A and B are shown apart, each in its own frame.
Chain A
């Protein structure tokens, strides 16, 4: 199993550009989520999905879109990048939404918006 994979590993954008961060998992997990990590703030939830075709907002959803057309993939779209979106983005998945389920994290995408 590859686990949770993310591409690209690093990206530089100009303000106003759009891009898609890719996330895939091969563990047949129903629950997937996106977090952003900023210094001194831990990880904050952006969007999540409890299954194909079902998504919902997390704590900091503004400026981001998601879709879940398959169980395996959960891309995160930045519609018009802003410097405030400079961060490290992590995708995570778990078998179920049950509270005790372990979430598995990808290696992250480091994004710099100029």
Chain B
């Protein structure tokens, strides 16, 4: 079965610093990959998704992610963190033929002033 690993349940960065949130998946077939963000007391919002068109995917709010097949990774980055980026981030995968997303356990991002 497909699994998703997010390294680090909590990540803390300073405002203006690079944000790097890690996601690795287990699949012999490249899946479709998603990053969602959850702000406090809200539902999940799509940040970006990889659907095999391009390995570097740009999303909303300045985030981007790069699909690396050789590393089975889809890490999320943002060059300069903003206080408003503080939230929980979920990586998710979907295999062709499966009916639902498989989510990672989430990474809570703190941004220090």
* Interface, chain A (partner B; CB < 8 A): 4, 33, 35, 40-45, 48, 50, 56, 58-59, 90, 92, 97, 99-100, 102-108
Contacts and interface: CB of A to CB of B under 8 A. Distances in A.
Nearest to A46: B100
B8 to A, nearest CB: 12
Interface string B64-90: 000000000000000000000000001
Contacts of A92: 44
B100 A105 contact: no
A45 B94 CA distance: 13
Contacts of B100: 33, 45, 48, 58-59
Contacts of A90: 43-44
A14 B100 CA distance: 31
Contacts of B32: 99-100
A40 B97 CA distance: 26
Contact of B43 (A4, A40, A41, A50): A4
Interface of B: 4, 9, 32, 34, 36, 41-46, 49, 51, 90, 92, 94-101, 103-106
Given A48-B99, A100-B32, A102-B49, A42 B43 contact: no
B101 A103 contact: yes
Nearest to A58: B100
A35 B51 CA distance: 23
A41 B104 CA distance: 7
B95 A40 contact: no
A45 B98 CA distance: 12
A4 B45 CA distance: 12
A64 to B, nearest CB: 15
A58 B96 CA distance: 16
* Most chain A Cβ neighbours within 10 Å, of B41, B49, B98, B100: B100
A35 B106 CA distance: 15
A97 B99 contact: yes
A97 B104 CA distance: 21
Contacts of B96: 99
B44 A105 contact: yes
A108 B49 contact: no
A44 B4 CA distance: 12
